[in-house]
Chains A and B, each alone.
Chain A
Amino acid sequence: AKKPSSGSSLQKQYLQKEYAQQTLGSGNLRLAVHLPEGEDLNEWLAVNTVDFFNQINMLYGTITEFCTPQDCPVMSAGPKYEYHWKDDSQFKKPARVSAPVYVDHLMSWVQSQLDNETIFPSKIGIEFPPQFKTIINDIFRRLFRVYAHIYTTHFPIIVSLGEEAHLNTSFKHFILFVKEFDLIDSKELAPLSDLIESLLAQTKNQ
């Protein structure tokens, strides 16, 4: 069977009403992203970063069986967006690696940031570094790509596992958080801009 081209937004499965409107609970996620009164902004960014990392880790974990170097020889978000891995140690030049290898580097990199006591202090009384917000932006920009890859490439598996409401809720929460604290440049969000629009429109009607 021939698959429909994913170029037209009409044909994107994750945008179809029956899937895009599936979310968990009926509460207001918008309130959940607000900085609690009097709370330290960095502390709030930190705890939420760990939460989203954990969520993406779990969601991607359920599809790893289908995200193999054969199935996904390159990390992408639909036919128009390709990501090449680059870091400060092994990959000084952007490398075209398979999606599972890319995600592995990405998640290990985030984990190493979270484990770095000078960036995410765990001892009471130790302050966050001055460049903390820049690091948070980097982490969120990269985490977005995992959502983008899951939506654009593995949504049929998500549906067959019955995870569309879980993925949508997680992603909507992520996007509301990103918008609240201005964490990702809008052009980075382009691969899922239509979905983001649709999820945010739902929140307005709540």
Chain B
Amino acid sequence: EIERSTVPSLSTVEQSSSTKIFFESYYHRLLTNPSGRSRRRLQLERQLETLGISEADKTEMRQEWMANETEYMRLMREKISVNSFLILKTIG
């Protein structure tokens, strides 16, 4: 077994700092309750209450909301995917 060095270079320390900031804000966002999505859901329900429309219309609006959320997730995925590629290139 070889003895491994554990003294990081300056550029590793810098990269580590930005990585830690990323994780801290990512998990802060993820673990904050309620999540963005459930907050938007509540907002929608409140709006539906004030509109005074039929149950069928409400169902339709909920479905529309759902489709928007799915679309948003797909857009987010592409955005993150592009970012991760840039990071990979920087590392490589």
Contacts and interface: CB of A to CB of B under 8 A. Distances in A.
Q: Do A and B bind each other?
A: yes
B91 A32 contact: no
B91 A57 contact: yes
Given A43-B73, A47-B76, A57 B24 contact: no
A150 B92 CA distance: 18
Contact of A58 (B12, B19, B30): B19
Contacts of A25: 27-28, 31
Contacts of B37: 36
Interface string A1-44: 10100000000000000000000111111001000101110011
B13 A111 contact: no
B3 interface: yes
Given A50-B84, A122-B78, A66 B30 contact: no
A205 interface: no
A166 B23 contact: yes
B49 interface: no
Contacts of B80: 47, 50-51, 54
A196 interface: no
A120 interface: yes
**What is the interface residue range for chain B against chain A?**
35 or more
A61 B87 contact: yes
A62 B69 CA distance: 34
A201 interface: no
Interface in A41-76: 43-44, 46-47, 50-51, 53-55, 57-59, 61-66, 71
B88 A71 contact: no
Given A50-B80, A58-B87, A156-B4, A169 B27 contact: yes
A161 B13 contact: yes
The 3 A-B residue pairs with the shortest CB-CB distance in the complex, in nearest-first order? A27-B31, A54-B84, A166-B23
30 contacts: A1-B3, A24-B28, A27-B27, A28-B31, A29-B30, A32-B31, A36-B37, A39-B69, A43-B70, A46-B74, A47-B73, A47-B77, A50-B80, A54-B84, A55-B23, A58-B22, A61-B19, A61-B91, A62-B16, A66-B4, A114-B81, A120-B81, A122-B81, A157-B4, A160-B7, A161-B16, A162-B20, A163-B16, A163-B19, A166-B20
